[in-house]
Structure 1
């Protein structure tokens, strides 16, 4: 573990299961500013060092983020500050075909990062239990144990996009040290959701949050009425501040990642992170969030709350996930909805597409919203299962990506 963590007098920290103090604001390194085909390393250096000097100590990157690991490694070397921070990076397990590949990719990552250990190592976008079992069959379990024992990996975790039930299953298949989920006030009852967050916390796992602003959706793409609700509130918080504070209000949230690529954004986020407390939200604050969500969901197609009472489907259909993606097409845009659907239903060993429905009707008997699930699954399938989706689904099978 890190010998010492230099804490800013302002930044807040929350502990992981091993007693490491992680800054509640983490630096997502996927969105460094690019200059032509390369990352603008001098600009990134100013931003990273500003973050470190203000107490940010958790930096998240991945093998598949072009240039990200190498940029982070070079900046830390230039400024001799590797020991001041925690590095989190991710194994591209979907590219792993043998135990030799595990070692190959890891060694390449250490070289890029110019370090001899990784603090937090994630299975990148782990999709389901079958995917983990495939990795175990290749020797991943023993390989990780060896790396932890020799100190090259300090904590093992996984990042996740998918439904709550699958996330709960993944929590049980390995003695994880931490996990990373997509979570924000719009995804409170989708993805891993609040149930997943609380379940991970109950097991003692620190939870790292990605997509806190839903890729900017909760800032720049809010409906005008939602923007006015925020503007007229007496607390005069920005949309980003409301989203961050909603997350940090919850004690189960350990660290929130933000892809900060300007000093202005960085300083705003640091200021918010330095002035929050668990449980600070009032009834009026929660009411405001609900009003914003209502405006965001005004154009949804199916009134699904993501409760999961319709599950499990005998044919494996991810019913809540399908409806969430279908609704995203109309509350955000078609691209967002279709991408979410692809990730949650096709890019996995056992697909969970809406078209697998055989109209048995079992789900409808348990739906508290009395949704005509069979009818709506047909509607969703027509719009979500595009030719691109079908090609991707076939590719997963043909190339045995999982």
Structure 2
């Protein structure tokens, strides 16, 4: 197992165990199976285990396994405050104390503000006294490192990152999401500030393994390196020195073994020209299945009315790879929860975007088509309701 250091020089395994996808049996987590998989990862050198308050049964399962095997002091627990449920200063302690009880511990190594999507959410927490609360918890030793997990646009990510002296952060990032959400720009901004970055959804929940177009699978299978679909995605991430730890929701012994094998020699800077060429071939195969030929170059931006054109087209394209439900959910959280509205219905058809598009996309027409698919009327209603809940002052 290879390791990279956190902000204070502590070694973190480059492979982290994502505890959201434990196997269930009879409606609850199969704890014996989860224990075998966690212990296999531990024996292979994994020392970072990520869970959250809202992952059903996950914190309690992890707590039992760590206690049974007496390894709490030998690993790092990362869990998360459900900031979207916090209403007052008292609830901060309520959720935190409940998490300590579930995890059978008296401290958290890496604690995150969960699922931040807009800077307004951090503003709200500040109004509730989050800075003093964090200071108290860190001084008492109950929290060792403080961070946040993020699903939103690059601008708000950088805004949150610059608003506090964070110890680490967690973002969704993979070769398909290279320029969406926090993206490469956000990753590099964090690195420039000396803030370690933990990666979630490195394979988009397995979709970059099982749901790749057949042409993409063929390109990988015929590569002389002998990579598996998962291996290519993981090595692409670990090739980047700005990446500290990559989470994987491992729920089979085979997956644990494969990922730990890859993490034993995936050094930063180890990709060669053939590897980068293979990534481009896979991305091109994915693009061939897309509904609109947007490359995410952002030459169309900024829109004078605030429409996030690339984000809408990206979600629209994801409907062909991952299905409409997933694409709609992602659009709802990354665009629907922006501080300022950025929907296609704000378009006044001025045409400035089309004048700058290198792909000559009929953007005005495609915006309407994409919006109908990605944001049908039930989602419009739902997004409006959630905006009032998440973004209220």
Which residue number corresponds to residue 342 of structure 1? Answer: 332
Deviation of 1:69 after TM superposition, in Å, equals: 0.4
Aligned position for 1:324: 314
365-374 vs 319-328, greater mean Cα deviation = 365-374
Equivalent runs, 1:183-262 vs 2, <5 Å: 183-262=173-252
Deviation at 1:149, TM superposition (A): 1.7
Question: Would the aligned equivalents of 1:124 and 1:160 in 2 still touch at CA under 8 Å?
Answer: yes
Counterpart of 2:125 in 1: which secondary structure?
A: helix
1:60 matched to 2:54? The reply is no
Structure 2 equivalent of residue 354 of structure 1: 344
1:174 aligns with 2:164: yes
Match of 1:105 among 82, 91, 95: 95
**Is 1:38 matched with 2:28?**
yes
Task: Decide which of 382, 386, 393 is 2:372's aligned counterpart.
Answer: 382
SS at match of 2:335: helix
Q: CA-to-partner distance for each residue in 1:229-256, whole Å, 9 max, x for gaps? A: 1111112111111111111111111100
Contact kept, 8 Å, 2:22 with 2:251, in 1: the verdict is yes
Contact 1:346 1:392 (8 Å CA) reproduced:
no
Partner of 1:93: 83
Please, which moves more after superposition, 292-301 or 256-265?
A: 292-301
- From the superposition, tell whether residues 397 and 227 of structure 1 become closer, same or farther in structure 2 (CA, over 3 Å): closer
Residue 117 of structure 2 corresponds to: 127
**TM-score (norm. length: structure 2):** 0.95
Larger CA deviation: 145-154 vs 340-349: 340-349
Q: 2:152 matched to 1:162?
A: yes
Are 1:280 and 2:261 matched, yes or no?
A: no
Question: Of the candidates 108, 127, 135, which is equivalent to residue 118 of structure 1?
Answer: 108
Verify the 8 A CA contact 1:248 1:276 in the aligned structure 2: yes
> 1:53, 1:272 → 2: CA distance?
15
In the alignment, the residues of structure 1 paired with residue 168 and residue 355 of structure 2 have an alpha-carbon distance, to the nearest angstrom, of 37
How many residues of Structure 1 are paired with residues of Structure 2 in the alignment?
392
Measured against aligned partners, the alpha-carbon deviations of 1:223-281 in whole angstroms (never above 9, x if no partner) come to 11211111111121111111111111111111000000111110111011002221111
Change (3 A) 1:29 1:54: same
- Deviations, residues 62-82 of structure 1 (Å, cap 9, x unaligned): 000000000001111111111
SS of match in other structure, 2:221 = helix
Matched, 1:146 2:162: no
TM (normalized to structure 1)? Answer: 0.93
Structure 1 unaligned spans of 5+:
1-10
- What residue in structure 2 maps to residue 8 of structure 1? none
Q: Which residue of 1 aligns with 2:74?
A: 84
* Aligned counterpart in structure 1 of residue 280 of structure 2, from 286, 290, 305: 290
- Partner secondary structure for residue 155 of structure 1: strand
Moved more, 140-149 or 62-71: 140-149
Give 5+ residue unaligned stretches, structure 2: none
* 1-structure distance, mates of 2:313, 2:135: 39
